[in-house]
Structure 1
Amino acid sequence: MTESKPQDLYRDTVFLPKTSFPMRGSLPKREPEILAHWARTGLDERLHAQAEGRPSFMLHDGPPYANGNLHIGHALNKILKDVINRAHRMAGFAVHYRPGWDCHGLPIEWKIEEEYRKTGRDKDSVPVLQFRAECRAYAQKWLDVQAAEFRRLGVQAEWDHRYATMDFSSEATIVEEIGRFLLNGLLYRGLRPVMWSPVEKTALAEAEIEYRDHESTTIHVAFPFIHDPTPGRALQDVSAVIWTTTPWTIPGNRAIAFGPEITYAVLRVDGVTDEAPLEPGARLLVAESLIAPFCAAAGITEHYVLYTLPGEALADAVCAHPLRGEGYDFEVPLLGGDFVTTDAGTGLVHMAPAHGEDDFALTVANGIEVPEIVLDDGRYADWVPLFAGTHVFKAADPVCAALSAAMERANQDGTAPAGLVARSTLVHSYPHSWRSRAPGSIILRRSGSYQWMETGTCAPSRCLALEGGGLTPRAGPKPTTSMGAGRAENISRQRAWGVPIAVFVEKRTGEVLRDPAVMQRIVDAFRTEGADVWYSAPAARFLGEDRNPDDYEQVFDIVDVWFESGSTHAFVLGRDGLPFPADLYLEGSDQHRGWFQSSLLESVGTRGVAPYRALVTNGFVLDEQGRKMSKSLGNVVAPQDVNDSLGADILRLWVMNSDTNDDLRIGGEILKQQGELYRRLRNTLRWLLGGLDGFTEAERVPYEQMPELEQWVLHRLTELGGQVAHAVRSHEWVGLYGAIHGFCASDLSAFYFDVRKDAIYCDGAGSLRRRAARTVLDHLHRCLCAWMAPVLVFTAEEAWTARFGEADSVHLQAFPTLPEEWIRPDLADRWTTLRAVRRVVTTEIEAARRDGVVGSSLQAALDLPLSAEEAARFADIDWCELAIVSQASVTVEPGAASIYLAGTDGADNEAGGGVGIHGAPVISAAGGHKCARCWKVLDEVGTHAAHPELCLRCVEVVESRPDRGPVA
């Protein structure tokens, strides 16, 4: 039989930590088990019942698109929302979070069309209701997938009350909102240029457009004057020269704009390069300040300015189209425009009213017809001379060829120049659809469209031509008050999958029918049968018996999905007892020009007030090198993969440890770092649970009876509680969970636990010191579990139920209310100094271990030099306990200066900061024998006859235990 060592005999008399909470989280396996437990125990229903009678907090969910698995940006946004919701619930609010989905629109329609193309089917041959049914099924499939993936991330919501834009009730509400605009005069029909995607055959909203560098063909074109109103006929035999980056719009030209305040010059060409199409003697009109760059572009080597004239003198002048005689025999008047500048070009701007906002406004104001020359697929209409059937993206060469031929004819005939003067290329920022990703994929094209506005009346001067703001540089986040300034929005889309703009237009007048009874019949039908009823029911059902359906056009354009998502507040807020407006909208920073804006405009237009009280934005997710994620780079981090490999709590911790106000980075190494942070947090919880084994209320020690060290820990705990409360109030969460981790790692694990573990393990059950320490552990466990619960939803639950049983849930708890008396700045200063001194001592102990003086800190004796003032100030400090040595003494150095600190603070750790003391602490080997129970080396060990292996404290503890002695 093997002889037992002395320490083995007393092992069972030590209060060793005991807990069912494992060191390893095994989160990928454990998290789904916890989700299943919540479902079995009805946690969602219990949370709903708990909310009764509480003040409300409402975060309205911006709907993700039901098209594919969740990406990491979805996870970031939904986790942030979940943290905020959970924290408000634990702060005492009633939270009703109803997740939503955006289900209509082009991407889903495009997917179904792709399937058709694979099987050789033609979408146009498929009945519209069948096509819509396939789109609905596709959206439902991905809605269900995403809902399951959000749940796997730990997102708590009223899933049974989720909304989707394709629900019958939602479709009815969208039509009802359209009706509100219709009846209050903010919905009108108008022909104007809109951002148009020939690939997708629909108009696009500004939020659907991105800008990238694109190489465009640029041309200078001569238009000969045919009517000269100037004194002395200064424009006789002269041609006006325009410059454009869109050669394909030349067939749509109907005017030329000049700047009334600009000085123009008529120059005579005296010399040209061999390649130049112009001939000497040609007379051209350009802005005086742009003569030099124009001549360089046109290959003009010598010129002479015949005379100058003010821009206002060009009023009433008329040019011929350069392709006159080939189907372009209309007049091209010169019109004054205050938008004309001399920043580039010639100071003369060709006006294609179907393809430009300024063009449209100026020509319509002057009574000029707006031709529709481009079809919805980007081809010239069959009636367009010379270019019928040509796609505008391929039009530069044929247009330039026709213009070159025109110039050659003018040269041969000896008439004023007409046609191509110069051709070049320009790299510039140009719009493209973010779906097609093809630069230059967007054109401005005239289209019949419906517009809505947020305020004011629908006077043409206010509603005209504002959609073209997409041609300006992309705007960053703007204040809420300016997001909708002066905006009109095209809301009609020429597609099939969505909510139709369910209105009628009187054929005789072209006016939109504004009849509340008709609108109500439409809304009622949509609510019971969905939007499909617009396609299946006869118009007479909606128009009623007093109107002839033959007198009306039924509009089948669908409403833009941004209008739909902007209407979602009407699905949720102000219904079922929920508040309006929402307390918070939270989305990515791009939504200042997207959902934030469309929601603002829609709500102000129908209710006169914003649908939210506050906005919070998050950045975008990049890889570890700061690059955008793409499959081609192989740097995509999918939340599903993180769940399966590390666990959702790691992903949630990454979110809350990042600065979500800016762009975030993620990758293998970053997630590995989060895993390490998580391990420290988990070990803190495990240590607390182990130290609390068997804790009862009978042990609890009142605050005023606690040792100073415990009071300091509660001070730090209360400081942290204040940070939590501030985050809840302000929605500013950045840095909070880093502070919680620092508290766990530095204040607790590296200091308090280290100092107090001897008392917790080895003091007697009735010891005030041990009871006070365990009382603090109880506060720590309750607070940390509660504060971690909004983020580490699974781990906090596991740590809570490991102590209180699975019938309870941490998510039903409130954030603890900590007494103000626990705030002790005086203790903070005092213990900052003590920890700094301790750091110097432990550094010396480590040196002594390396030198072989001692094997562990408990084999050490400490002699600490202090000034007389310090010795008196810290006379109550047990330096053995604080430094974790067996013996300690203080040497007073009379007249010495006090301890000085450098770089330390209340959250200092064992390795940081600096302190100077009067002489280095002296570390020597402790004299005496090692206690078999607590392992301290003391002279008193061996002095007790019954327990010669123990120190006197351990003797007292062992003697007081029921078993009264070592294990046989």
Structure 2
Amino acid sequence: AQPPSGSAPRRGEERAVRGAAPPARRSAGGSDSRYRDTVLLPHSRFPAQLPGRLQPEAELETQQKCGFSELYSWQRQRKTKQEFCLHDGPPYANGDPHVGHALNKILKDITNRFYMMRGYKVHYMPGWDCHGLPIELKALSEVKGAENLSPMEIRRKAREFAERAIEKQKSAFIRWGVMADWANCYRTFDPKYEANQLRVFYKMYDKGFIYQDYKPVFWSPSAKTALAEAELEYNEQHVSRSVYMKFPLLKSPPKLTSVIDGSSPASALVWTTQPWTVPANQAVCYMPDSAYSIVKCTTTGEHFILAADRVESTAAILDMQFEVMSTCADLVDGSCAHPTIPGRVSPLLPANHVTMAKGTGLVHTAPAHGMEDYSVASHHQLPTDCLVDEGGFFTEAAGPELQNKNVLEEGNEAVIQMLQAAGSLLKEEKYVHSYPYDWRTKKPMIIRASKQWFVNTASVKATAQEVLKKVKVIPTSAVNRMLEMLDRRTFWCISRQRCWGVPIPVFYQKNTGECLINSDTITDVIKIVEQQGTDAWWTLPIEQLLSKEHYRVFCLRYLIIVLLGTSWAHVLEGAEQRADTYLEGKDQLGGWFQSSLLTSVAARKKAPYKTLVVHGFTLGEKGEKMSKSIGNVVDPDVVINGGEDHTKDPPYGADVLRWWVAESNVFTEVLIGPVVLNAARDDINKVRAKYANTCLKSEVYRNRVRYLKM
């Protein structure tokens, strides 16, 4: 009997599928060719596997034919009351898509599709963070003579750079199969977004959570701006030039007066890893209720005051022999002479931040260059003058020997030489320790007092911590880390000395510097921003930004606001404006997760999310950090399409990239490399082979049914 019509494989189609018999061999005379189409062999159009070079092409064809671009709109039109909202944390629009993006975006897509298959409508609006230093620095690095650009030229360059980066990243996210309405994304430089950010700023200001103050902040000399602690990275191998120095005793503490008879000089012995801060010294601090000794150097006859617990270790470091003359538990009412500035007095003051782990137990205190130092100065009403400018150079106030010298380079050397010339230097040595760096410029930070805008996290963090305890956090261990980070954060510096961003909407009295911001001024500024964007702050005359009765005596200052975490006010829908899930990397525990919580709690006393999902970082397959110098950087585009040499970098396709995410334990560090990708490809081939075999069995069954009906 002849097989049913259409049951035999069509001529010209691919037959070499796993599970199918090979074509019948033609005999030498070709007499068996007439029987070829009568053999009932099962056939499937689904290939068990594709050659690597065909995989990317097949995926693109599938995306087009199956309407991947319409999937998000289709599921939004379904009639269901169940809705799942995943709020997309905006990546920086400052470069090409990388494997960290792939982990994050694909993991979000798997989550969204899971809820969609359970019958939910998914709300997911992709976004990009387009403002701030990451974009501005990258944009300016492409321009010769960038230091001569006007603020508006810088803003234009930065915007153009961000727009190009967004298009690159968006194309990659689409190629990875991420389901979204890609024609409707949010960008932080959109006028409506900027206006909403200013509304949140004013709500927090009106409630007393935002204030202006002069205090030490983390300062990046390489970027010439203040930074928040979350914008730092720590170099564990930083080398400082530490010094042991003498502060000559002017007034002996009463409990040591009988020991120091005045016949030989006495000094407080102080250690610091930042000699450049010595010109700003205003005090020497000691630990209250701790034992301090006065010792005599057996070689020189000099007397030194230092902590009793540090006598032996300090003597060994200085290669001296100390004879302990007396020990007491209080240095109250003592004072010293500044080691390099004649006439300046440095009082001995108690302070709880002093430790005995290193040094001498006596701490050099420069209020302009340390947070704890500033607290001591505030309590005792000491000067907090800063002698360092925005670029990290000593100012004229530091004196002619130091003026215009870089504090981390020749300025540091100059101070050490001054200590040497004054006879105050006992020893200098290299000291390797952890030190904060600007994570964008990769250059060392300093602490520098300046006038900035802050969020008073001390007054909001208790509520934030209580609110956070009601949020589901996956994995649960992450919630403790976030609570600890919140507890350590006493203030949040939100002003930056840059021009690419949303301006702080405050006017300043020309003569006194007094601030003007109220509901009327902010309403007017927000209206202008909604219509023209924040460029208006730089382009419009002040009389168009401020009412006529005020503008003649007020001026603008070009500071930008870094109030990350206000996207909930723009993206989330409904009266609650609350997402079901935020899903980001563990670095956001001190970043976007935390800033979103703080802004939402300060503005409306609730979290913007119900669940936090925290994933790990991507590493090389041996567990090492990815580095171009090591040669282990994995480019997701190369993973999909292959590299120049396909024997070295074969094209795996997006399915392998997605499988890698799906099978990984994302709550730890996620490894990727050739071995991992080959394993993922083998797994996919097994799945495809199994599906192809199922198709073959179905074809056999259909052929049997057709045959029996004849």
SS in 1 for 2:705: coil
Residue 97 of structure 2 corresponds to: 70
Cα distance 1:341–1:579, how it changes in 2: closer, same or farther (>3 A)? closer
Please say if 1:627 is aligned against 2:624: yes
Structure 2 counterpart of 1:838: none
Q: CA deviation at 1:126?
A: 2.4
Match of 2:166 in 1: 143
- Please, which of 437, 442, 450 is the counterpart of residue 453 of structure 2? 450
Structure 1 CA distance for aligned equivalents of residues 75 and 398 of structure 2: 66
Deviations 1:692-749 (A, max 9, x none): 34xxxxxxxxxxxxxxxxxxxxxxxxxxxxxxxxxxxxxxxxxxxxxxxxxxxxxxxx
1:252 matches 2:253: no
**Preserved CA contact (<8 Å) 1:57 1:93:** yes
User: Is 1:525 aligned to residue 528 of structure 2?
Assistant: yes
Match of 1:603 among 577, 600, 604: 600
Distance across 2 between alignment mates of 1:24 and 1:685: 11
Q: In structure 2, the residue corresponding to 1:285 is in which secondary structure?
A: strand
Shift of 1:612: 0.8
Cα distance in 1, alignment partners of residues 682 and 622 from structure 2: 21
Match of 1:347 in 2: 361
Task: Map residues 784-933 of structure 1 onto 2, 5 A cutoff.
Answer: none
**Residues 182 and 232 of structure 1: is their aligned pair in 2 closer, same or farther, counting only changes over 3 Å?**
closer
Task: Give matches, 1:126-275, under 5 Å.
Answer: 126-212=149-235, 213-228=237-252, 230=254, 233-234=257-258, 236=262, 237-271=265-299
The whole-number CA distance in structure 2 between the counterparts of 1:476 and 1:242 is 40
Greater fraction of residues in helix: 1
Q: Which secondary structure state, in structure 2, belongs to the residue aligned with residue 674 of structure 1?
A: helix
Residue 89 of structure 1 and its aligned partner are, at CA, apart by 0.9
Query: In the alignment, which residue of structure 2 is the partner of 1:935?
Result: none
Q: Residue 659 of structure 1 aligns with which residue? A: 665
1:457-606 equivalences in 2 (<5 Å): 478-485=480-487, 486-506=489-509, 511-550=514-553, 552-560=554-562, 563-564=563-564, 566-574=565-573, 577=574, 580-606=577-603
> How far off is 1:515 after superposition?
1.0
Alpha-carbon distance between aligned partners in 1 of 2:576 and 2:690, rounded to the nearest angstrom: 40
1:53 positional shift: 3.4
**Counterpart for residue 27 of structure 1:** 55
The aligned residue for residue 431 of structure 1 is 436
Gaps of 5+ in 1: 272-279, 408-418, 460-474, 694-756, 767-957, 963-968
1:813-849 deviation per Cα after TM superposition (whole angstroms, max 9, x unaligned):
xxxxxxxxxxxxxxxxxxxxxxxxxxxxxxxxxxxxx
- CA drift of 1:689 comes to 2.6
Measure how far apart 1:480 and its partner are: 4.8
Question: Measured at CA, do residues 282 and 160 of structure 1 come closer, stay the same or move farther in structure 2, by a change above 3 Å?
Answer: same
Taking the aligned partners of 2:288 and 2:682, their CA distance within structure 1 comes to: 69
Q: Is the 8 A contact 1:378 1:392 kept in 2?
A: yes
Of the three residues 367, 391, 394, the one matched with 2:406 is: 391
Q: Residue 119 of structure 2: which of 68, 82, 92 is its match? A: 92
SS of equivalent residue, structure 1 residue 149: helix
The 8 Å contact of residues 478 and 592 in structure 1, kept in 2 or not, is answered as no
Cα distance change of structure 1 residues 502 and 424 upon mapping to structure 2, 3 Å threshold:
same
Report the alpha carbon displacement of residue 161 of structure 1 after superposing the two structures with TM: 1.8
1:41 and 1:269 mapped to 2: Cα distance? 80
Within a 5 Å distance, the mapping from 1:664-703 to structure 2 comes to 664-693=670-699
Identify which of 307, 311, 316 aligns with 1:296.
Answer: 316
Deviation at 1:19, TM superposition (A): 2.8
Offset, 1:310:
2.2
CA deviation after TM superposition for structure 1 residue 308, in Å: 2.1
Per-residue CA distance 1:95-139 (angstroms, 9 max, x = gap): 02100001111122112322333xxx252x322112211111111
Shift of 1:186: 0.9
Change in CA separation of 1:98 and 1:122 when aligned onto 2, cut-off 3 Å: closer
Rounded to whole Å, the distance in 2 between the matches of 1:40 and 1:387 is 64
CA contact (8 A) 1:59 1:585 kept: yes
Structure 2 stretches lacking a partner, 5+ long: 1-28, 463-476, 642-650
Q: Aligned residues: percent identity?
A: 35
Q: Kindly provide the CA deviation profile for residues 169-213 of structure 1, in whole angstroms up to 9, marking residues without a partner as x.
A: 111111222111211111111111111111111122222211122
Q: Secondary structure at the match of 2:100?
A: helix
Change in 2 beyond 3 A, CA 1:255/1:41 = closer
Q: 1:322 aligns with which of 339, 350, 363?
A: 339
SS class of match (2:372): helix
Q: Is the 8 A contact 1:484 1:601 kept in 2?
A: no
For residues 110 and 425 of structure 1, the distance between their equivalents in structure 2, rounded to whole angstroms, comes to 32
605-614 vs 480-489, which deviates more?
A: 480-489
Q: Find the residue that maps to 1:296 and give its secondary structure.
A: helix
Instruction: Tell me if the contact between 1:572 and 1:578 (Cα under 8 Å) persists in the aligned partners.
Output: no
1:357 is aligned, of 350, 367, 371, to: 371
Secondary structure of the structure 2 residue equivalent to 1:392 = coil
Alignment TM-score, normalising by the size of structure 2: 0.86
Q: In the alignment, is the contact (CA less than 8 A) between 2:482 and 2:590 conserved in 1?
A: no
Letter matched to residue 178 of structure 1: F
What is the root-mean-square deviation of aligned Cα atoms in Å?
2.6
Deviation of 1:151 after TM superposition, in Å, equals: 0.2
Q: Does the 8 Å CA contact 2:509/2:555 hold for their aligned counterparts?
A: yes
SS of the aligned residue for 2:367 comes to coil
| Cα distance change, pair 78–40 in 1 and its aligned pair in 2 (3 A) | closer
Does the aligned pair in 1 maintain the 2:133–2:440 contact within 8 Å?
no
The 1:457–1:210 alpha-carbon spacing in structure 2 relative to 1, beyond 3 Å, is closer
Corresponding residue for residue 725 of structure 1: none
Mapped partners of 2:595, 2:116: distance in 1: 29
| Aligned partner of residue 610 in structure 2, secondary structure | coil
Aligned residues: 648
The whole-number CA distance in structure 2 between the counterparts of 1:71 and 1:176 is 34
Deviation at 1:252, TM superposition (A): 1.0
Q: 2:655 aligns with which of 636, 639, 649?
A: 649
- Alpha-carbon contact 1:454-1:602 (below 8 Å) kept: no
Q: What is the CA–CA distance in structure 1 between the aligned matches of 2:314 and 2:69, rounded to whole Å?
A: 79
Kept in 1, the 8 Å contact 2:282–2:345? The answer is yes
Residue 348 and residue 476 in structure 1: after superposition, are their counterparts in 2 closer, same or farther (change >3 A)? farther
CA distance in 2, matches of 1:108, 1:174: 19
Q: Distance in 1 between matches of 2:177 and 2:146?
A: 43
Displacement after TM superposition at 1:399 (Å): 1.6
1:372 aligns with 2:386: yes
1:384 CA drift (Å): 0.8
Q: CA deviation at 1:508?
A: 6.3
Mapping 1:37-76, distance limit 5 Å: 37-38=65-66, 42-50=70-78, 52-76=79-103
CA contact (8 A) 2:140 2:158 kept: no
Q: Which residue of 2 aligns with 1:846?
A: none
Pick closer, same or farther for the CA change 1:506–1:186 going to 2, 3 Å.
farther
8 A contact 2:240–2:274 mirrored in 1: yes
CA deviation string 1:580-623 (max 9, x = no partner): 21111111111111111111111111121111111112211122
1:115 partnered with 2:142: yes
2:26 corresponds to: none
1:429 shift after superposition? 1.2
Call closer, same or farther: CA 1:637–1:541 in 2, change over 3 Å.
Answer: same
- Equivalent AA in structure 1 for residue 486 of structure 2: G
Structure 2 residue 705 is matched with structure 1 residue 765: yes
Change (3 A) 1:177 1:41: closer
